[in-house]
Structure 1
Amino acid sequence: MPISLLRSAGYCLLLVCGVSLGSCGGSKDAFTQSGGASYYADKFNGRKTASGTTYRPNQLTAAHNTLPFGTVVKVTNPRNKRSVKVTVTDRGPHAKGRIIDLSRKAARKIDIVEAGVAPVQLKVVRAAAKR
């Protein structure tokens, strides 16, 4: 096989691999989800979360059933387009149709406190650090 043909084949292979890898880059961070959000009741203030941290209503934290602790999620209220970034520190919610429990501060930022439960959209913006 001539050298120029081998070189061309090699460039094509690199191009295909580069495009494939480039399109996959960050895909694990592209997790999105839609569903109901609620927020922690006041009685949980000061209690330990599943991650071992203490729940504080004035922090921007959340509970999610599957996302790793430390994951940062952007939560958007589609009704008013407000969003907030929260860190997953707990497990839950444990009610059908709900996908996330927010701290009171986070719930206030997207204006769902009065509703109690509201539709939201989630997007992972930073995956949890590998340990």
Structure 2
Amino acid sequence: MKRLLGLWALFSLLAGCVSGLIDPHGYDETGTASYYGARHHGNKTASGEPFNSNALTAAHRRLPFGTQVKVTNLNNNKSVVVRINDRGPHARGRLIDLSHKAAQQLGMLGNGTARVRVQAITN
């Protein structure tokens, strides 16, 4: 019985994650970005691929894996296009977690966070 309840709880959790995905078409949000620390390099992402701090990738809570988004630092107007390949950020009040390379291109390494606009790129 405990095993059955455990499986049901796991299934419910996974179903909630999948149903929580949003349609990227027209996605346009403003919020706070942060970036992954070096200790995450090589760890497996939620999509199953290894995290590469030198790639232009990001974590988002609800956008589908593979979605490309344009991230613009609202403090300096620098932009970068990244691909969503992980879930997060796990810190409260954050919209997106970026790879080190993406954060570098946005000029946010010194502060660690930046106010950003995130726009999905649709084909």
Q: Match for 1:29: what amino acid?
A: H
Identity in percent:
49
Q: Does residue 103 of structure 1 match 2:99?
A: yes
Q: Match of 1:36? A: 32
Q: 1:49 aligns with which of 41, 45, 51?
A: 45
Residue aligned with 1:98, SS: coil
TM-score by length of 2: 0.79
How many aligned positions are there? 101
Q: 2:122 aligns with which of 115, 123, 126?
A: 126
TM-score by length of 1: 0.74
Q: CA deviation at 1:97?
A: 1.2
Q: Match for 1:120: what amino acid?
A: V
Q: 2:80 aligns with which of 75, 81, 84?
A: 84
Q: CA deviation at 1:116?
A: 0.5
2:31, 2:110 → 1: CA distance? 17
The runs of 5 or more residues in structure 1 that have no matched partner are: 1-26
2:33, 2:103 → 1: CA distance? 9
Q: Show structure 1 runs of 4+ deviating over 3 A.
A: none
Please say which structure displays the higher CA radius of gyration. Answer: 1
Residue aligned with 1:62, SS: strand
| Coordinate RMSD, CA, aligned | 1.4
Q: CA deviation at 1:28?
A: 5.1
The runs of 5 or more residues in structure 2 that have no matched partner are: 1-22
